[in-house]
Amino acid sequence: MKKVLLSDRSLQLLFGPLDENIRFLENLFAVTIQARDSSLAIEGEEANVTLLERILVDFAGLIDKGHSISNGDLKSAFKQIAEDAALTLNDFFPKMQLLAAGKRQVTPKSLNQRRYVESIRQNDIVFAIGPGGTGKTFLAVAMALTYLLEKGVTRIILTRPAVEAGERLGFLPGDLEAKINPYLRPLYDALYILMESEKIQRYLETGVIEIAPLAFMRGRTLNDAFIILDEAQNTTSEQMKMFLTRIGLHSKAVITGDVTQIDLPLGRGSGLVEARNILRGVEGLAFCYFNEGDVVRHHLVRLIIKAYQQHAQSETTGNFNGNGSQEA
């Protein structure tokens, strides 16, 4: 059994509403925790107790220094440290906070999201591949705004291929802007969630932030920019190559997509799938992968994604025999 001394304020914040944080830690590390005066008594396997003791000491230090930590961010950090014991709370607060000057604080909510943010900082081109709701686009936009505010880039360019579910722009009502805007709406939504609308509007009007269909990138050289290509699974091979060769000096590019949601016409290969195969191992370029455990939407979204994955696996198993050849 280990005893950890904490200040009254640290204890109050650690327990959370209805002691939910303590119960969360007990389940996460398979230990029992009891409060005794100004200390916590921890019982369990030695390795788990030692790791939890370190976490609690770090937590007390952060609180005593005046850091404000929400329950959600705290639980997320606890979970990531349980998955990777090399991490500490000091790696998350305040180091992993993004967009401190924006409308809301943003921090990675899972280990894969944390690795994603670190990859963006360390590489000029990053591919983020995984199901919807895992924070691929949202974190990329947050990083782009962070780089802009910190003067790491002078502009942000957000782009998407304007092809979804077999539709074509020519069949949609309205002028060109009206046809294009529905495809780009999710990018606008992310911007307005992260920063005051007046500031975003000013950036859009002055060209500091540009949102445009992928076809509008052809022939350009994009210098001093943070560029995000969203829904990249719907690029063709030619479009992906065109985009990647637009990237200029002092720029960063993040390419996001879900290879299980390809809406290209039958017979057209995905540029994202091809790039994943061709560019693997290229120095200065990173691939980050997400799964249902990274979903930050409604908890049912995670279960829905998992159910679809299991269904796809069962169909694949049913369609092939033991020798790997397709059965009739």
For residue 92, is it within any domain? no
Q: d(Cα 113, Cα 111) in Å, to the nearest integer?
A: 5
Residues 287 and 162 grouped into a single domain: yes
Asked if 135 and 242 sit in the same domain, the reply is yes
User: Residue 94 domain-assigned?
Assistant: no
CATH number at residue 221: 3.40.50.300
Domain coverage including residue 18: 2-87
Quote the pLDDT of residue 323: 43
* Residue 60 covered by a domain: yes
| 155 lies in the same domain as 299 | yes
Q: What is the pTM of this model?
A: 0.71
Within a domain: residue 78? yes
Say if residues 279 and 129 touch (Cβ distance below 8 Å): no
Q: List the pLDDT tens digit at each of the 328 positions of the chain.
A: 788 888 888 888 888 787 888 999 999 999 999 987 778 999 999 999 999 999 999 998 888 877 777 777 788 889 889 988 888 888 777 666 676 556 777 878 787 888 899 999 999 999 999 998 899 999 999 999 999 999 999 999 999 887 643 445 455 455 455 556 677 788 889 899 999 999 999 999 999 999 988 888 999 999 999 999 999 999 999 999 999 999 999 999 999 999 988 888 888 899 999 999 999 889 889 999 998 878 776 667 767 877 887 887 777 666 544 444 333 3
Which domain CATH number covers 43?
Answer: 3.30.1370.10
Outline where 126-280 has alpha helix (H): 136-149, 176-194, 197-206, 237-244, 271-278
User: What pLDDT score was predicted for residue 318?
Assistant: 63
212 phi and psi, to 5 degrees?
-155, 155
Query: Which of the listed residues 54, 72, 87 is the one where a domain comes to its end?
Result: 87
In a domain, residue 95? The reply is no
CA distance 294 to 315: 24
Question: Is residue 103 one of the residues assigned to a domain?
Answer: no
Same domain (yes/no): 180, 281: yes
**What is residue 138's predicted lDDT score, i.e. its pLDDT?**
93
Q: What's the pLDDT score for residue 215?
A: 86
Residues 73 and 121 in one domain: no
Contact by Cβ (8 Å): 271, 259:
no
Number of separate domains in the chain? 2
Q: How far from the centroid of its chain's Cα atoms is residue 91's Cα?
A: 17
Q: Does one domain contain both 135 and 168?
A: yes
Q: Give the per-residue pLDDT at 268.
A: 86
**Per-residue burial over 288-320, b = 16 or more CB atoms within 10 Å of its CB, e = otherwise:** bebebebbbeeeebbebbeeeeeeeeeeeeeee
Q: Let me know whether 54 and 174 are in one domain.
A: no
